[in-house]
Chains A and B, each alone.
Chain A
Amino acid sequence: MQDRVMEKAAALLESGVCTRVLGWKTGEFFYDVTPAVFTSAEEVRTQMVYNPFCGPNLSKYLIAESRKEGKIAVFLKPCDTFSFVQLQKEHRIARDKVYAVGVQCDGMIDMDSLKALGLRGVTAAREVGDNLIVSTLYGEKTVPRREALSLRCRVCKSKRLNDCDEIIGEQGGDLPSDRFAQVEALEAMTPEERFAFWRSELSKCIRCNACRNVCPACSCEKCVFDNPGSGVRNKAAADSFEENLFHIIRAFHVAGRCTDCGECSRVCPQGIPLHLLNRKLIKDMNQLYGPYQAGADFDSKPPMLAFTPEDPEASIITNGRDGQ
Chain B
Amino acid sequence: MKTWKLSELDSLFAAIAAAQKLYIPADAAGQPAFTLWTPGLSMTKALNTGRSAKDLFFPQVENLVNFKVSGRRIQVEPGREEVEDFVIFGVRACDCRSFDILDSVFLSDPVDTFYADRRSHATVMTLACSEPEETCFCTSLGIDPQAPAGDVSCWAMEDTLYLEANTEKGQALLSSLPQLGQGEKPQTDASVFHRLPLKDLDFSVFGEKPLMDWFNSPVWDSLSQSCLGCGSCTFVCPTCQCYDVEDFDGGATIRRFRCWDSCMYSDFTMMAHGTNRPTQKERFRQRFMHKLVYHPNNHAGQIGCVGCGRCLQKCPISMNIVKVAKALKEGKA
Contacts and interface: CB of A to CB of B under 8 A. Distances in A.
A271 B50 contact: yes
A291 interface: no
- Size class of the contact patch on chain A: 35 or more
Contact of A238 (B132, B257, B322): B257
Contacts of B260: 206, 236
Nearest to B195: A137
Contact of A201 (B29, B133, B248): B29
A138 B228 CA distance: 34
Main secondary structure of the interface of B (DSSP, over half): loop
B29 to A, nearest CB: 4
Interface stretch (A74-82, A101-109, A152-160, A220-228): A220-228
Given A210-B316, A214-B316, A236-B61, A137 B222 contact: no
- Which of A237, A238, A266 is packed against the most chain B CB atoms within 10 Å? A238
A235 interface: yes
Interface residues of B, number: 56
Interface stretch (B7-15, B152-160, B164-172, B230-238): B230-238
Contact of B265 (A37, A206, A226): A226
Interface stretch (B94-102, B114-122, B266-274, B284-292): B266-274
Given A29-B134, A137-B196, A228 B318 contact: no
Interface stretch (A10-18, A116-124, A173-181): A116-124
Contact of A206 (B235, B271, B319): B235
Contacts of B234: 208
A122 B31 contact: no
A237 B61 contact: yes
Contacts of B323: 27-28, 34
B28 A204 contact: yes
B197 A123 contact: yes
Contacts of B255: 238
B132 A137 contact: yes
B246 A210 contact: no
B47 interface: yes
A225 B196 CA distance: 41
A36 B60 contact: no
A286 interface: no
B226 interface: yes
Contacts of B257: 236, 238
A123 B136 CA distance: 12
A35 interface: yes
Nearest to A60: B228
B261 interface: yes
Contact of B131 (A36, A138, A237, A267): A138
A32 to B, nearest CB: 4
Given A27-B323, A28-B312, 5 more contacts: A36-B226, A118-B45, A210-B230, A222-B266, A228-B271
Interface of A: 27-29, 31-37, 56, 61, 111, 118, 120-123, 136-138, 200-201, 203-204, 206-210, 212-214, 222, 226-228, 233, 235-239, 263, 266-267, 269-271
